[in-house]
Amino acid sequence: MSIGQALPRLEDARFLSGRACFVDDLKFPGMLHAVVVRSPQAHAAYGRIDTRAVRAMPGVRAVFTSADIARYPAVIPIRLGPLPGFERYLQPALAQQRVRYVGEPVAVVVADNRYLAEDAAEALEIDYEALPVVLGAHAGMTDSSVIHPAAGTNIGTRYTSAIGEPGDAFRRAAHVRKARFRCHRHSAMPLETRGLVVVPNDGKLALWGATKVNFQNRRALAQMLGIPVETIEMIETDVGGSFGVRGEFYPEDFLIPFAARELGKPVKWIEDRREHMIAANHSREMECKLELAVSREGEILGMRAQLICDMGAYVRTNGSVVPAKAAQFLLGPYRIRNFECEVIGVMTNKTPVGTFRAPGRYEANFFRERLFDMACGDFGFDAAQFRRRNLIRPEELPWSIGKLVPYEPASEYDNGDYPALFDRALDAFGHPRLSRGQQPDGRLHGVGMACFVESSGAGPAETARVVVRGADRFDVYVGSSSSGQGHETSMAQILAGELGVPVEGIRVFHGSTGIVPNGYGTYHSRAIVMGGSAILLAARKLKQQLAEKASGRAIDFGAFVGEEAMATFEQSKRTYTYGAHLAHVAVDPQTAQVEVLRYLSVEDIGRAINPLIVHGQAIGAAVQGLGASFLDEFKYDEEGQLLTGSLADYLLPLATDFPAVEALTFENSPSALNPLGVKGAGEGGIVAVGGAVANAVANALEPLGAEITALPLSLDNLSGAIRAARRRNSVPNTK
């Protein structure tokens, strides 16, 4: 039995011995190097670019501007979440007479090596005429400066979703609590930045370094270039992390294939860290006006919200997901029958928005769980009891949340026991026994909690192929991509468990477009739910084929070398994990420094293929969430320049920053929506971090009366909140 075993990752031997092959490791004869020339201004017009002097520089092979690609429909398409109105703000592969954010591609230089290309890019002179800069969503909503004149407004989308009768719920409420919250702009920082190597050969293109949604990206590229999709192959290399940011279709995913095709030579492009920070998708920045209606006994009667989301300068492939899912997941795992939310997406002169691990959910959980604690403080409810009272009960599942997302059908939570798991989390954390208030060292201790529900396993389908290579040797090919999650191990375990063979003899090939007819990639914690289920079905089909050929005898796989089976798993419904996060912090009221004394993440994922990998995902996600909640932040100046554009300014957590992180994973509620019974395990560790630590810090600072309504909980923000509280309360600052 291989499924359920905590096996060390099979791929780690390759990584730890230095035998992994990342995109920058690839070298081809005659390979050229591309550098993208990016706008230094946030909003400006420019005229024709004179490239003659740069083209004449030694070693420079080409300089491409928007004029060179004008004959192609090179506009980045929306892949997910076509919210109404956003189709007016799509990004061209190269800016056309106007730039709209610092980092927007304006030209591409191709040279014999990276050094020459960098020098040539620096030498390219472009005259910019500055235009008014729109820095925030509220400023954008005034339309005093319209970023996209053809659209006529900066309000990209505006819609309202509702279930039940929220107006009636608020009229009946004994208590109403409202507040305004803000979540900051930040994003993922994979160890390896983005990159691509494109090799043209006899009218075909091989793209190395593709990942995440390769079949979709291949179709998009073929349409832009006007060539048959079969002439493009996207090949997945080893990847140093994604977290939702890598692998979407970016301008470079057209520009580098275009350059290679034009020049008839292999072309490599590798993003540097500065480029990643100004050009790869940002995420999370939004404000929320949230209002809660509660009965005298503490029952939630209704909720109303307005979300204002800063979308950046363009709507990219999956940017719509962020505001749409924030609205949907404001409900959380609670029995809220009356709900209304207005969503406003606003265009600004910042880097465009896309998804980042638990998009919209991280923000929504912070908004909701913070308001819950504020309401409990005002109305005298115990925070844990308030949540327990309002959690959806197992007998009420499946629970419909209606049609809250315009581009999706109505949805429902599938199965589970939310109150029981919440109690397990409280018991494991020792919640009632934890110290609060001021301690002998002068620090203020606080405890916070947050409950969540998280969707995973998005369809529509995934395909897998299994091939017999020997008595105990098999190859598995699957359309799902991998970016370091351990898929090769988990997927091998699924096949080994079904066929009853050693896991060590199984090789897993993933993501590339030439290995299966189609695939939908890896996002929304879907790889094992969809791809793993496809492997299971393919294994069962292979056993059936061989059993028929063996005529009743025991199957000897060695006698059927080359035999293969392929299967597709389809499912339109999502699985839902659920759980709770708890945090215990100590805050120094003089310095605003916060120490996370203990952090616990608890989640029911249905079934764990490899508990060791699941545990690593949960711990890593929690640390990533803690970094996001305390450290990570993109800040801009008044001219739209990114101030935190290096790792000296954009702070990331070190291994020593959050040592007291624990994770408990349960398998109490296997999914009935797939043959493995699994639910996604990649995002539950991060979804509720902002809410839990904000509540803990607010609990610690309660004696001072400090208000915590915004992330991040940085030194600047917390010290400002403490100073404001002291001014309000006329408490002298003795520092």
- pLDDT confidence bin for 1, thresholds 50/70/90: low
Which of 584, 580, 582, 581 is CA-nearest to residue 697? 584
The predicted pLDDT at position 733 comes to 52
670-715: per-residue pLDDT in tens?
999 999 999 999 999 999 999 999 999 999 999 999 999 999 999 9
Which of 30, 47, 51, 70 is CA-nearest to residue 121? 51
Contact between 72 and 309 under an 8 Å Cβ cutoff? The reply is no
Cis peptide before 460 (omega within 30 of 0): yes
545-592: per-residue pLDDT in tens?
999 998 888 899 999 999 999 999 999 999 999 999 999 999 999 999
**Alpha-carbon distance values, 427 to 232, 524, 583, 599 (Å):** 55, 30, 13, 14
User: What's the rounded mean pLDDT across residues 31-38?
Assistant: 98
The SS3 assignment for 556 reads coil
583-630: per-residue pLDDT in tens?
999 999 999 999 999 999 999 999 999 999 999 999 999 999 999 999
Q: How far apart are CA 449 and CA 430, in angstroms?
A: 12
The predicted pLDDT at position 471 comes to 94
pTM: 0.96
Residues 375-409: b if buried by 16+ CB within 10 A, e if exposed? bbeebebebbebbbbbbbeeeebebebbebbbeee
What's the whole-number average pLDDT of the chain? Answer: 96
Confidence check: pLDDT of 433 > 80: no
Contact between 413 and 456 under an 8 Å Cβ cutoff? The reply is no
The predicted pLDDT at position 735 comes to 46
Contact between 404 and 327 under an 8 Å Cβ cutoff? The reply is yes
Cα 360–chain centre separation: 9
- pLDDT confidence bin for 655, thresholds 50/70/90: confident
CATH 3.30.365.10 residue ranges of the chain are 414-454+576-735, 458-570
- pLDDT confidence bin for 441, thresholds 50/70/90: confident
- Burial class of 297 by CB neighbour count within 10 A (0 to 12, 13 to 18, 19+): exposed
Strands 300-312 and 232-235: unpaired
Confidence check: pLDDT of 2 > 90: no
329-357: per-residue pLDDT in tens?
999 999 999 999 999 999 999 999 999 99
The predicted pLDDT at position 677 comes to 97
- Beta strand spans in 187-285 (E): 195-201, 204-208, 232-235, 267-270
161-204: per-residue pLDDT in tens?
999 999 999 999 999 999 999 999 999 999 999 999 999 999 99
Structural fold of domain 414-454+576-735:
Aldehyde Oxidoreductase; domain 4 (3.30.365)
Q: Where are the alpha helices (DSSP H) in 395-440?
A: 418-429
Confidence check: pLDDT of 326 > 50: yes
Strand order from edge to edge, sheet including 339-347: 155-163, 339-347, 300-312, 286-294, 175-183
The predicted pLDDT at position 440 comes to 81
29 secondary structure, DSSP code: T
The predicted pLDDT at position 124 comes to 96
Confidence check: pLDDT of 725 > 70: yes
Helix 361-379 × helix 321-328 angle, to 10°: 30
User: What's the rounded mean pLDDT across residues 39-43?
Assistant: 98
- pLDDT confidence bin for 435, thresholds 50/70/90: confident
CATH 3.90.1170.50 residue ranges of the chain are 23-131+188-279
User: What's the rounded mean pLDDT across residues 654-664?
Assistant: 93
Residues 6+ away with beta carbon under 8 Å from 645:
274, 277, 278
The predicted pLDDT at position 732 comes to 53
Q: Which two tokens stand for residue 13?
A: 């031997």
Q: Where are the alpha helices (DSSP H) in 42-185?
A: 52-55, 114-123, 137-141, 166-172
Q: How far apart are CA 249 and CA 318, in angstroms?
A: 9
Q: Which residue has the tokens 């199957």?
A: 555
Which of 343, 600, 574 is CA-nearest to residue 454? 574
266-310: per-residue pLDDT in tens?
999 999 999 999 999 999 999 999 999 999 999 999 999 999 999
The amino acid present at 184, given as its one-letter code, is H
Domain 458-570 classified CATH 1.25.40.10?
no
Q: How far apart are CA 471 and CA 716, in angstroms?
A: 63
59-76: per-residue pLDDT in tens?
999 999 999 999 999 999
- Burial class of 31 by CB neighbour count within 10 A (0 to 12, 13 to 18, 19+): middle
Q: How far apart are CA 520 and CA 538, in angstroms?
A: 17
Percentage of the chain lying above the pLDDT 90 cut: 95
511-535: per-residue pLDDT in tens?
999 999 999 999 999 999 999 999 9
Helix 383-390 × helix 418-429 angle, to 10°: 160
Structural fold of domain 23-131+188-279:
Aldehyde Oxidoreductase; domain 3 (3.90.1170)
